[in-house]
Structure 1
Amino acid sequence: MARGYRRPGRKPAVRWLAILLWVCLAGVLSAQAQDNWLRDSWREVIAASPFDEPLAVASEARPYSVNGSVNARLEWPFAELAEAFGSPVAWCQVLILHLNVKGCFHDAAVDEAALRLYVGRRHYELLADAERLDLRLRRVAEGPIYLEMVLEGDRGPYGTRAFRLQLRAVPDLDGASLVQLRYSLVYGMTARLALRGYFAFGGQDRVGFSEEPGEDGRPRPVGGMRGMIERNVMRFYLALVAHLETRTLSEAERLEASLSRWFALTERYPEQLREIDRADYLEMKRREQARQRRGAE
């Protein structure tokens, strides 16, 4: 073979291989940069919070929609979080702790991803008198460094729609995890008028966690729709924590322990979350849980 001769096609093949490797490496670096940015941004949000624990609450209200979020650092490994909330059954165990959730049912034989949620007042009531909310659990992303899952429904309670409860998580240092729980919904004129009546009377003094300037220029806790969404996203977040803390117990122990733990966690924020005393809450939830175990609707 003459010196200087190169086999036809070898140089373009090498070039394309180098380009392919560069594209793959760029994708990995881009994903890593995005994960680092998300982790750093959540850390900043939590660090700027006035809470005594690694926790931050925020909300946004528009003319016909509202959303609230909790960012927090949890002392649980990322892999354990992904396992704890990976099934509709687990989400039912979480959601039923909320004082306004009257029942949560899942039938894997009918639909593996579907939940039937019933929402009502802060006392025991028949499910026929509660509002039904059909939800689906959608796993958006599940990997070693990022988790995202969403519970969503087209029609919500009391004339609301586009109900969405989104959980996102990334691993943090020292075996901990950073999480974001976001709750959002859209409401029409009927729900808007009903909520306006509620805020004018029974809910006029109810507040949330974040602050806004008052008429005198001093910061005050948000009220109205923002206050409502912040209270509820916090209740759902505390239900996640209570579920994590009690999930390894036997079923009989877990039911009682999760109820007691959820109520104790809400008592850290009495100004925002206290609506019922402990004895009444436990009695109501025990009856609801008994109905739940029977599978009664």
Structure 2
Amino acid sequence: MTVSKCINLAGSVLLLCLCGATDAQAAPESASAISLRAKYAELTSKLTSNQFKRPLVLESSETPDTLKGDIYALVDHPFTEVSTVLNGPSRWCDVLILHLNTKYCRAANSDAGTTLNVSVGKKDDQQLDAAYRVNFLYRQGTSAPTYFDTRLDAKKGPLGTSNYRIMLEAVEVPGNKTFLHLTYSYTFGFTSKIAMQAYLSTVGSDKVGFTSNGKQADGQPDYIGGMRGVVERNTMRYYLAIDSYLDAPAAAQVDTRLQGWFAATEEYPLQLHEVERSDYLAMKRHEIERQKTAQ
């Protein structure tokens, strides 16, 4: 081979490499990814030091007809692992069933798309025909090398509630970790508001959330109650279900994630303790077995 041909060949190889590098760099991050990464930078100090003793920040809001909870958390899992593990409707059923009030979850295909048929009910064992059915439309949104988002939307819920949304987005951050943002929200009407007020004035009268309005006379935090307290508790339960599933996603690890979810909720007994470990495990094992065959 002549010198000139070698030079030409080397030039071609270099051009291909440069073109490849240019193509790889030509796809900028989406606005959502940039926004979530900026949120991570904003919350760095709160993620490091907070009441939860884990890298987590919880925010909530209440309007005349809507409740919303947001959790931002740093998880010790690579982004590629998180995006794979939390991709797919059946995996989301494995997540949702960990929640105390989820009695059943099954994915099904319809003309509208993939639906998660979810039954929600009491904190103890319950027949499915006595639970409420909520049909979530599963939407896999953006899926990029460093960002993804997934949404579950339901038009109708129990007792006059509506417009349910569970949204999760995640972005890759330094240290081979992943920054998550979970949103849980719904709209309530007159019937659901009356039902909730009745609950909060009776069996739920001592229930509180995680946001503090200051200190009580004895120096203890004055945690919010009411409907914001309700949405904060449920948002945390859903987040801990996601976190427990990430730690044990294999089919053979069902018991590990059940144990993990319960242990995590018991870190916040004032807000989240409802049943004893043995009762929770027995109930969930039964529910998971039941949803394999029930329609």
Q: TM-score, normalised by structure 1?
A: 0.83
The number of residue pairs the alignment matches comes to: 269
Q: 1:34 to 1:283 in 2, by over 3 A?
A: closer
Pair 1:254-2:256 in alignment: no
Structure 1 runs not aligned, ≥5 long:
1-24
Q: Specify the SS of the correspondent of 1:179.
A: strand
Mean CA deviation greater in 36-45 or 157-166: 36-45
Q: Specify the SS of the correspondent of 1:148.
A: strand
Alignment of 1:260-271 (within 5 A): 260-271=259-270
Alignment of 1:64-75 (within 5 A): 64-75=65-76
Pair 1:98-2:67 in alignment: no
Letter in 2 for 1:178: F
Q: Specify the SS of the correspondent of 1:113.
A: strand
Measure, in 1, the Cα distance between the counterparts of 2:142 and 2:180. 14
Mean CA deviation greater in 47-56 or 166-175: 47-56
> What does the per-residue CA deviation read over 1:99-158, in whole Å, with 9 as the maximum and x for residues that have no partner?
100000113487752110000001111111100000011122111122111111100122
Pair 1:165-2:166 in alignment: yes
Q: Specify the SS of the correspondent of 1:80.
A: helix
Q: Tell me if structure 2 keeps the 8 A contact 1:45–1:71.
A: no
CA-based RMSD: 2.4
The residue aligned with 2:240 is 238
Shift of 1:34: 4.3
The residue aligned with 2:155 is 154
Measure, in 2, the Cα distance between the counterparts of 1:80 and 1:29. 19
Pair 1:113-2:114 in alignment: yes
Measure, in 2, the Cα distance between the counterparts of 1:71 and 1:154. 25
The residue aligned with 2:284 is 285
Shift of 1:81: 1.0
Instruction: Select 2:230's aligned residue among 221, 228, 231.
Output: 228
Shift of 1:45: 4.7
> What does the per-residue CA deviation read over 1:152-208, in whole Å, with 9 as the maximum and x for residues that have no partner?
110012211000011011111110011111100000000000000000111011011
Measure, in 1, the Cα distance between the counterparts of 2:84 and 2:158. 29
Alignment of 1:1-297 (within 5 A): 28=28, 31=31, 34=35, 36-47=37-48, 49-108=50-109, 113-213=114-214, 219-248=221-250, 251=251, 253-294=252-293, 296-297=294-295
Measure, in 1, the Cα distance between the counterparts of 2:280 and 2:167. 26
Q: Specify the SS of the correspondent of 2:262.
A: helix
Letter in 2 for 1:64: D
Q: Tell me if structure 2 keeps the 8 A contact 1:42–1:178.
A: no
Measure, in 1, the Cα distance between the counterparts of 2:84 and 2:141. 15
Q: Specify the SS of the correspondent of 2:108.
A: coil
Q: Tell me if structure 1 keeps the 8 A contact 2:108–2:117.
A: no
> What does the per-residue CA deviation read over 1:42-71, in whole Å, with 9 as the maximum and x for residues that have no partner?
435524633321111111111111101111
Measure, in 2, the Cα distance between the counterparts of 1:154 and 1:122. 23
Shift of 1:75: 0.3
Measure, in 1, the Cα distance between the counterparts of 2:201 and 2:85. 40
Measure, in 1, the Cα distance between the counterparts of 2:256 and 2:52. 25
Q: Specify the SS of the correspondent of 1:139.
A: strand
Letter in 2 for 1:256: D
Q: Specify the SS of the correspondent of 1:203.
A: coil
Measure, in 2, the Cα distance between the counterparts of 1:159 and 1:30. 36
Q: Specify the SS of the correspondent of 1:207.
A: coil
